[in-house]
Structure 1
Amino acid sequence: MSDKPATAAAADTVPDADPAEPYAADAAALFVAMARLNRLVRRKAPAQLGHSAVAALATVVWFGPLRPSDLAAREGVSAPTMTRVLSGLEAGGYAIREPDPADGRASLVRATAEGVALIKGNRSARSRVLRERIAALTDEQRAALRAALPALHALTGDD
């Protein structure tokens, strides 16, 4: 935990935010807070795979089998990058490619049972870290976090 009181951390201003641009300070503050929280969770509950591989595998587990090109688009990476990520996932036994029943020329990426277990394990360990951090918040802070969840989900666009 930071030595900085939670109220002070929440009141931080973000340098270099352009006050002339609507929501610039909010976006910058949210970006910094998410990056710090993500780094904390990754540090306290490291994954067996790299961040890109875990993210791609989690997307396949969450959304079901996807074409590699669709997975690359969702993850915001190029096709060659996704090919490398998928090769590693396949070599580790976490994902497989199988023919797309709708188009025999294409393939779908599916998580194996081991891949699903890996993601559930990461989520479980990472959820534990978050549960511990949330438990340390005040009732008001937990209520504010719950109230912010719909907006955070809306930001992802992953309806």
Structure 2
Amino acid sequence: MRHTTTISTEDQAIATGFERFYELLRRLTPRSELSLTAASTLRRLERSGPHRLCELHAPEGVSQPAMTQLVTRLEREGLARRGSDPADGRAVVVSITEAGREAVARRREGRTRALSALLEQLPAADHAAIMAALPALEKLGDLLAENTN
């Protein structure tokens, strides 16, 4: 593991590449009933299971009142549900519903179809390089999750 006090040229290039890829994914994502924050929150609930309401706002970069409003909307639309925390009845736990899972899957499928069309245009070596990078990207995502929990 590297420990530096200055940002390397390589790290700057990676950050720039991630920014460009993020823009690409945003453009490829079909416009749907879900905002970026709503989709991200539902993916988090799908991937990690139920969360206390108070744990959801910080990783999504929104205030707690904004997350409360979002969860209220998701609940009204049948995409999420609130319940009591079994360990502390005063705390609210949010979980994804089957309809929420389906909404996430539709969004993912639309993005995958659009991305697949672009990937088909890449040379095989570039496609292989992207595949080879996936495990490292997963580890990077795990590190982020560990550092924001």
Q: Match for residue 129 of structure 1?
A: 114
- Please, what TM-score do these two structures have when normalized by structure 2? 0.81
1:70 to 33, 55, 80: 55
2:23 maps to amino acid: R
Write the deviation string for residues 4-56 of structure 1: whole angstroms up to 9, x where unpaired: xxxxxxxxxxxxxxxx9333x33443333333333333334223211111111
Secondary structure of the 2:78 match is coil
- d(CA) in 2 for partners of 1:101, 1:134: 46
Higher helix share: 2
Percent identity reads: 35
- Asked if 1:141 is matched to 2:126, the reply is yes
**Does the Cα contact within 8 Å between 1:47 and 1:54 map onto a contact in 2?**
no
Instruction: Count residues in correspondence.
Output: 139
- d(CA) in 1 for partners of 2:126, 2:73: 40
For structure 2, the residue ranges without an aligned partner over 5 or more in a row are: none
Pairwise CA RMSD of aligned residues? 2.1
Write the deviation string for residues 76-131 of structure 1: whole angstroms up to 9, x where unpaired: 33212211211221122111101111211112101111111000111111111222
Secondary structure of the 1:132 match is helix
Q: Match for residue 91 of structure 1?
A: 76
- Please, what TM-score do these two structures have when normalized by structure 1? 0.76
- d(CA) in 2 for partners of 1:76, 1:137: 34
1:57 maps to amino acid: L
Matches within 5 A, 1:1-150: 21-23=6-8, 25-44=9-28, 45-150=30-135
| Bigger relative contact order, structure 1 or 2 (CA pairs below 8 A, ≥6 apart) | 2
Secondary structure of the 1:22 match is coil
**Does the Cα contact within 8 Å between 1:96 and 1:112 map onto a contact in 2?**
yes
Question: Per the alignment, do residues 48 and 30 of structure 1 end up closer, same or farther by CA in structure 2, a change over 3 Å counting?
Answer: farther
2:22 maps to amino acid: N
2:72 maps to amino acid: S
Moved more, 72-81 or 120-129: 72-81
Higher Cα radius of gyration: 1
2:136 maps to amino acid: A
Question: Per the alignment, do residues 86 and 46 of structure 1 end up closer, same or farther by CA in structure 2, a change over 3 Å counting?
Answer: same
* Post-superposition offset of 1:59: 0.7
Secondary structure of the 1:93 match is coil
Question: Per the alignment, do residues 22 and 37 of structure 1 end up closer, same or farther by CA in structure 2, a change over 3 Å counting?
Answer: closer
